[in-house]
Amino acid sequence: MDLALAEARTAAARGEVPVGAVIVAPDGSVLARAGNEVEARHDAAAHAEMLALRAAAARRGEPRLVGCDLFVTLEPCPMCAQAISFFRIRRLVFGAYDPKGGGVEHGARVFDATSCFHRPAVIGGVCEAEAASLLRDFFAERR
Protein backbone atom coordinates (compact mmCIF):
# COMPACT_ATOMS: atom_id res chain seq x y z
CA MET A 1 0.00 0.00 0.00
CA ASP A 2 2.96 2.31 0.54
CA LEU A 3 3.70 2.25 -3.20
CA ALA A 4 0.07 3.02 -4.02
CA LEU A 5 0.12 5.96 -1.59
CA ALA A 6 3.30 7.23 -3.27
CA GLU A 7 1.53 7.05 -6.65
CA ALA A 8 -1.41 8.97 -5.17
CA ARG A 9 0.88 11.72 -3.88
CA THR A 10 2.55 11.95 -7.29
CA ALA A 11 -0.85 12.18 -8.98
CA ALA A 12 -1.85 15.02 -6.64
CA ALA A 13 1.36 16.89 -7.49
CA ARG A 14 0.32 16.69 -11.16
CA GLY A 15 -3.12 18.11 -10.33
CA GLU A 16 -4.87 14.75 -10.56
CA VAL A 17 -7.22 13.34 -7.94
CA PRO A 18 -4.80 11.52 -5.62
CA VAL A 19 -5.49 7.87 -6.25
CA GLY A 20 -2.70 5.34 -6.73
CA ALA A 21 -2.73 1.68 -7.68
CA VAL A 22 -0.19 -1.14 -7.69
CA ILE A 23 -0.48 -4.65 -9.17
CA VAL A 24 1.56 -7.34 -7.43
CA ALA A 25 2.35 -10.67 -9.11
CA PRO A 26 1.92 -14.01 -7.30
CA ASP A 27 5.67 -14.03 -6.56
CA GLY A 28 5.40 -10.63 -4.82
CA SER A 29 7.03 -8.57 -7.56
CA VAL A 30 5.45 -5.33 -8.71
CA LEU A 31 4.01 -5.68 -12.21
CA ALA A 32 2.65 -2.16 -12.58
CA ARG A 33 1.95 1.01 -10.68
CA ALA A 34 -0.02 4.08 -11.66
CA GLY A 35 -1.73 7.19 -10.44
CA ASN A 36 -4.80 8.86 -11.89
CA GLU A 37 -4.20 10.50 -15.28
CA VAL A 38 -7.73 11.64 -16.12
CA GLU A 39 -6.78 15.28 -16.66
CA ALA A 40 -3.46 14.65 -18.42
CA ARG A 41 -4.94 12.17 -20.89
CA HIS A 42 -8.29 13.94 -21.24
CA ASP A 43 -9.77 10.52 -20.54
CA ALA A 44 -12.44 9.97 -17.89
CA ALA A 45 -11.48 6.28 -17.78
CA ALA A 46 -7.79 6.92 -16.96
CA HIS A 47 -8.25 5.89 -13.34
CA ALA A 48 -5.19 4.55 -11.53
CA GLU A 49 -6.69 1.05 -11.40
CA MET A 50 -7.43 0.93 -15.12
CA LEU A 51 -3.94 2.12 -16.04
CA ALA A 52 -2.26 -0.35 -13.69
CA LEU A 53 -4.43 -3.27 -14.81
CA ARG A 54 -3.71 -2.59 -18.49
CA ALA A 55 0.03 -2.14 -17.89
CA ALA A 56 0.28 -5.35 -15.84
CA ALA A 57 -1.60 -7.37 -18.46
CA ALA A 58 0.63 -5.98 -21.21
CA ARG A 59 3.73 -6.80 -19.19
CA ARG A 60 2.55 -10.37 -18.64
CA GLY A 61 1.32 -10.71 -22.21
CA GLU A 62 -2.00 -12.03 -20.96
CA PRO A 63 -5.51 -10.54 -20.82
CA ARG A 64 -6.07 -11.78 -17.26
CA LEU A 65 -4.09 -11.31 -14.07
CA VAL A 66 -4.89 -14.57 -12.31
CA GLY A 67 -3.16 -14.79 -8.95
CA CYS A 68 -2.31 -11.08 -8.87
CA ASP A 69 -3.30 -8.59 -6.19
CA LEU A 70 -4.35 -4.96 -6.63
CA PHE A 71 -3.57 -2.34 -4.00
CA VAL A 72 -5.40 0.96 -4.47
CA THR A 73 -5.78 3.96 -2.21
CA LEU A 74 -9.54 4.45 -2.75
CA GLU A 75 -12.45 2.04 -3.00
CA PRO A 76 -12.80 1.40 -6.75
CA CYS A 77 -15.67 2.93 -8.66
CA PRO A 78 -18.12 0.64 -10.50
CA MET A 79 -16.12 0.88 -13.77
CA CYS A 80 -12.90 -0.15 -12.07
CA ALA A 81 -14.60 -2.84 -9.98
CA GLN A 82 -15.99 -4.43 -13.13
CA ALA A 83 -12.54 -4.27 -14.76
CA ILE A 84 -11.03 -5.90 -11.66
CA SER A 85 -13.49 -8.74 -12.11
CA PHE A 86 -12.74 -9.07 -15.85
CA PHE A 87 -8.98 -9.10 -15.21
CA ARG A 88 -9.56 -11.86 -12.60
CA ILE A 89 -7.63 -10.13 -9.81
CA ARG A 90 -7.15 -12.52 -6.87
CA ARG A 91 -7.30 -9.95 -4.08
CA LEU A 92 -8.29 -6.28 -3.92
CA VAL A 93 -6.85 -4.23 -1.07
CA PHE A 94 -8.03 -0.63 -0.83
CA GLY A 95 -7.52 2.29 1.52
CA ALA A 96 -10.28 4.88 1.87
CA TYR A 97 -13.93 3.96 1.53
CA ASP A 98 -15.97 5.93 -1.03
CA PRO A 99 -19.62 6.13 0.05
CA LYS A 100 -20.48 8.42 -2.88
CA GLY A 101 -18.65 6.85 -5.84
CA GLY A 102 -17.49 3.44 -4.67
CA GLY A 103 -18.59 0.31 -6.44
CA VAL A 104 -17.37 -2.40 -4.07
CA GLU A 105 -18.68 -1.76 -0.55
CA HIS A 106 -20.98 1.08 -1.62
CA GLY A 107 -23.17 2.00 -4.58
CA ALA A 108 -23.36 -0.67 -7.26
CA ARG A 109 -21.54 -3.33 -5.20
CA VAL A 110 -20.35 -4.88 -8.44
CA PHE A 111 -18.91 -8.04 -6.92
CA ASP A 112 -22.25 -8.89 -5.28
CA ALA A 113 -24.19 -8.73 -8.57
CA THR A 114 -25.39 -12.04 -10.03
CA SER A 115 -23.87 -10.91 -13.35
CA CYS A 116 -20.37 -10.70 -11.82
CA PHE A 117 -18.16 -13.46 -13.25
CA HIS A 118 -15.35 -13.24 -10.70
CA ARG A 119 -15.24 -11.86 -7.17
CA PRO A 120 -11.82 -11.17 -5.70
CA ALA A 121 -11.10 -11.33 -2.01
CA VAL A 122 -11.62 -7.79 -0.71
CA ILE A 123 -9.85 -6.04 2.14
CA GLY A 124 -10.87 -2.43 2.73
CA GLY A 125 -9.61 0.25 5.06
CA VAL A 126 -5.87 -0.44 4.77
CA CYS A 127 -4.02 2.83 5.51
CA GLU A 128 -7.47 4.40 5.37
CA ALA A 129 -6.60 7.53 7.36
CA GLU A 130 -3.64 8.46 5.16
CA ALA A 131 -5.50 7.75 1.92
CA ALA A 132 -8.54 9.73 3.05
CA SER A 133 -6.35 12.60 4.19
CA LEU A 134 -4.71 12.86 0.77
CA LEU A 135 -8.13 13.17 -0.84
CA ARG A 136 -9.51 15.60 1.74
CA ASP A 137 -6.47 17.87 1.50
CA PHE A 138 -6.51 17.78 -2.31
CA PHE A 139 -10.13 18.86 -2.53
CA ALA A 140 -9.85 21.40 0.31
CA GLU A 141 -7.15 23.23 -1.67
CA ARG A 142 -9.46 23.49 -4.67
CA ARG A 143 -12.56 24.79 -2.88
Contacts of 131 (CB under 8 A, 6+ apart): 5, 8, 73, 74, 95, 96
Mean pLDDT of 40-46: 98
Exactly one of 16, 49, 75, 105 is catalytic; which is it?
49
pTM above 0.85, yes or no: yes
pLDDT at 143: 79
Fill in the amino acid letter for 66.
Answer: V
Beta-carbon count within 10 A of 137 CB = 11
d(CA 17, CA 1): 17
Catalytic-residue membership of 39: no
d(CA 51, CA 129): 24
pLDDT at 61: 98
pLDDT at 100: 96
